[in-house]
Amino acid sequence: MTGSAIKGPGIFLAQFAGNDAPFDSLPAITAWAAGLGYKGVQIPSWDRRLFDLNLCAESQTYADEVVGICAEAGIAITELSTHLQGQLVAVNPAYDAAFDAFAPETVRGNPGARQAWAVDQVTKAATAARRLGLSGTVSFTGSLAFPYLYPWPQRPAGLVETAFAELARRWTPILDAYDDAGVDIGFELHPGEDVFDGASWERFLSAVAEHPRARINYDPSHFLLQAMDYLAFIDIYHDRISAFHVKDAEFRPDGRQGVYSGYSPWVERAGRFRSLGDGQVDFPAVFTRLTQHGYRGWAVMEWECFLKSPAQGAAEGAPFIARHLIEVTGQAFDDFAGGRADQAVLDAMLGIRS
């Protein structure tokens, strides 16, 4: 097996963007990221301090300016993120108040208008990504069925099937627009979304008729916190993985709490997100398995930690990813001991008479 290594280190800017320098503009934040050793940035498409999605969807000139700003800092754009807008494509009424904050004030309190805005935004991201020269975006599916994940009384027959049929009705036109643009959507499989593990991913993929643009943003932290085999996940779904969030976590169940963590705050939960290297994810195995299966996209740090500061997490993230990148070999380790491999030698070794 030969080929280039996974690209990186990259960093997702969403958790770092702010109103103070150097986090309040694209030129400043990309220079900051480059100074820490990052080679790529994943841009949150909703954050107008860094990026104007509407303008990028309309203007190649603006898209070229964005690419140029990043290039001046020695930074590439890994993907556009539409996590917040994707979440609003499908919202169960139980979440209306909580998720209204993700939308502009003009559509808050109006679920229909909010959904239409979200669909428009996610669709525009396909055009924007194409103008930026990107092959993919990352997003969430939203959630209609998740409040009924562990129900009492039992779910009525057909509820889950109806939810996924509705997800497909909403997402298929968006996926078709991405196909027209030649861009993938890597859905982050995340508790709180209707698509949060392999079984729910298969349900969604079937509902959208195995759409070629429906892909996975692989994040092992969410699988570790569900007590899943996150390495076997790569073996099963590697052909759909288009993006990679490098995020760590720890899961330490005890006699008081497990996966659900008893409504505890983050600091007291059995399952907690950690800065890279501070948790339990076996990243050497993750990078090995992804490389083995031919993933050649970006490794992008998503920083979330209940304890460590974002400044320290960002500073430690780039060298952590860099240490785990694998340069794929073009030779076998025991080539030095090999002999001649012509057909006559092979026949003689097997006792085959010509």
Domain boundaries, the chain: 7-350
Average pLDDT over residues 65-77: 98
Share of the chain above pLDDT 90, in %: 92
pLDDT at residue 348 is higher than 70: yes
Which two structure tokens, joined as six digits, stand for 46?
Answer: 């909703």
* Cross-strand bridge partners of residue 144: none
Q: Which of 241-245, 325-329, 333-337 has the highest mean pLDDT?
A: 241-245
Contacts of 339 (CB under 8 A, 6+ apart): 345
For residue 88, give the amino acid letter. Answer: L
> Tell me: the pLDDT tens digits for 296-329?
999 999 999 999 999 999 999 999 999 999 998 8
Q: How many CB atoms lie within 10 A of CB 330?
A: 8
Residues 137, 217: Cα–Cα separation, whole Å: 9
pLDDT at residue 2 is higher than 70: no
pLDDT at residue 331, rounded to an integer: 74
Residues 56, 120: Cα–Cα separation, whole Å: 14
pLDDT at residue 337 is higher than 80: no
Question: Which one has a higher pLDDT value, 337 or 8?
Answer: 8
- Angle, alpha carbons 270-94-185 (nearest 5°): 75
Q: Exposure of 317 by Cβ count < 10 A (0-12 exposed, 13-18 middle, 19+ buried)?
A: buried
Q: Which of 136, 53, 51, 123 is nearest to 86 (CA)?
A: 123
> Tell me: the pLDDT tens digits for 149-190?
999 999 999 999 999 999 999 999 999 999 999 999 999 999
pLDDT at residue 354 is higher than 80: no
Average pLDDT, the chain: 96
pLDDT at residue 4 is higher than 70: no
pLDDT at residue 141, rounded to an integer: 98
Residue with tokens 């099963």: 236
> Tell me: the pLDDT tens digits for 119-129?
999 999 999 99
* CATH superfamily membership of 7-350: Divalent-metal-dependent TIM barrel enzymes (3.20.20.150)
At residue 1 the predicted structure's pLDDT band, cuts being 50, 70 and 90, is very low
Average pLDDT over residues 231-235: 98
Q: How many CB atoms lie within 10 A of CB 116?
A: 14
pLDDT at residue 69, rounded to an integer: 98
Query: At how many degrees (to 10) do helices 283-292 and 310-324 cross?
Result: 50
